[in-house]
Amino acid sequence: MNGRISVKYDGKRDSAGLRWTHQLQNDEILLLTPLGQTAARIYRDDHEATLDESNRHYQDKDVESLMMQVLGWRLQLDSLHRWVLGQPAASDALVERDKLGRIAVQYQDGWEVRYLKYADDKADSLPTRMQMSRPDLQLTLLIDGWEWNPK
């Protein structure tokens, strides 16, 4: 997935380009500068998570703990890969749907995920703009494009 992310946390606002490669056993997230250069790289697999930025290297047991350690906030990457596809991440998610049956809002694990725009007016279209929030954190995700690799 390619896109842009905006983060509001602790009275601060930040934004970056985003390139996320998700596979069953690992994830790689590149946060990009406005000129497309890599500002930070987050990688996780079944064993650990790492975050590299400039000359600094961080690692922890999982990406959520790593993000809390480095950024002070966490995002549930296990849920996010389902959310960006317009799907509930768990059966206990509370879901509100639009007239086409697509998710308009879902509530899960303290998160409110709002689907602000879909690619088109088809029932199976993918989200292109969404907002994920908790009481102390708000993320806006703009999805510019998808690359599918069936491997």
Domain boundaries, the chain: 2-143
The sheet carrying 27-32 orders its strands as 56-60, 49-53, 38-44, 27-32, 12-22, 2-9, 137-145, 127-134, 111-118, 103-108, 94-97
Report how far Cα 70 is from the mean position of its chain's Cα atoms: 17
Question: Where are any strands of DSSP class E within 45-136?
Answer: 49-53, 56-60, 94-97, 103-108, 111-118, 127-134
| Helix runs in the chain, H state only | 63-71, 77-83
Please tell me the predicted confidence (pLDDT) of residue 150.
54
- More confidently predicted of 25 and 138: 138
Tokens 């998710």 appear where?
103
pLDDT in tens, 121-133: 999 999 999 999 9
Please tell me the predicted confidence (pLDDT) of residue 151.
52
Domain 2-143 has CATH 3.30.450.20: no
Give the integer Cα–Cα distance in Å for 19 and 17. Answer: 7
Please tell me the predicted confidence (pLDDT) of residue 147.
84
pLDDT in tens, 30-66: 999 888 899 889 999 989 999 998 889 999 998 888 8
Tokens 């896109």 appear where?
3
